[in-house]
Amino acid sequence: MRILIIGDVVGSAGRAVLNANLSSLKIRLKTDFVIVNGENAAHGFGITGSICDSFYQAGVDCITTGNHVFDQRDVLSQMERDERILRPLNYVPGTPGKGSGIYKTESGKRILVANVMCRLFMELLDDPFRAMDDLLARYKIGRDVDAIVFDVHGEATSEKQALAHHVDGRASVVVGTHTHVPTADTWVLPGGTAYQTDLGMTGDYNSVIGMKKEGAIARFVTKGERVRLEPADKDGTLCGCFVVIDDKTGRAKRIEPVRVGASLSETIPKP
């Protein structure tokens, strides 16, 4: 099974580079399933129903999110009718939407995708370790599904690494999102779980984590009136990873970074 996972799409630059490259990447990598984190897709903050639909038209199979998931209120109506968009699993009970879903590939393989949010330097949500344990107690690779993928949305690299090692061997893939900077630690953990601390963003890298440089710098060097951040909207770069999973065991065989676009060095794995 071949899965393409794409990091946080930021604003119009991110949407444009995703739409321009996803179809060719799917063909080149012979992907079975595509996951995209879309929580910054609507002008840098949240996602709308129309953007979700445009992602599906481009070839996305599942959308994960994070702390900005509810910034655009019309996403609530999208969640009522759309099984393919996820919010963090460890939000308090009663939160709209769902944190995980089981999806089928064209060949009939079952993929469990789950979205979890970390707590260090983030919102104080329910315990992500317990949330992952509870889910993995209900669904096991080989018995209930053929692969399990976690998008771990968080600030602290240590927390993401701890979560990955905690479920190593019980999940096929754990990848991090949120910091908008791609890390160089794509590897398969000893138990067979593919891992990367952060996929990076899909957006304009001539920026400060996707926001126009002038406003972001002003927040650091001036005091007084709070400067409104605006997403950078020039040439984008798509960042993510490509994972190959053993169909017999559900464990990862390899994971490699994917980068295509204007700013970072291009890397496209062999299929």
Chain segment 62-72, per-residue pLDDT in tens: 999 999 999 99
Q: Enumerate residues 6+ apart whose C-beta is below 8 A from 75.
A: 46, 47, 48, 49, 52, 69, 85
Active-site annotation holds for 178: no
Q: How confident is the model at residue 61 (pLDDT cuts 50, 70, 90)?
A: very high
- Whole-angstrom CA distances from 140 to 22, 112, 137, 192 are 30, 10, 7, 14
pLDDT at 271: 85
DSSP string, the chain: -EEEEE--BBHHHHHHHHHHHHHHHHHHHT-SEEEEE-TBTTTTS---HHHHHHHHHHT--EEE--TTTTSSTTHHHHHHH-TTB---TTSPTT-SS-SEEEEE-TT--EEEEEEEE--TTS---S-HHHHHHHHHHH--BTTTBSEEEEEEE-S-HHHHHHHHHHTBTTBSEEEEESS-S--S--EE-TTS-EEES----BB-SSSBTTB-HHHHHHHHH--SSPPPP-B--SS-EEEEEEEEE-TTT--EEEEEEEEEESSSPPB----
Q: Is the pLDDT of residue 223 over 80?
A: no
Q: Is the pLDDT of residue 225 over 80?
A: no
Mean per-residue pLDDT over the chain, rounded: 97
Rounded to an integer, what distance in angstroms lies between the CA atom of residue 66 and that of residue 17?
Answer: 21
Q: Mean pLDDT over residues 191-209, rounded? A: 98
Q: Is the pLDDT of residue 192 over 70?
A: yes
Q: Which domains does the chain have, with CATH numbers?
A: 2-261 (3.60.21.10)
pLDDT at 248: 96
pLDDT at 224: 67
Q: One of 43, 68, 165, 180 is an active-site residue; which one?
A: 68
Q: Is the pLDDT of residue 188 over 70?
A: yes
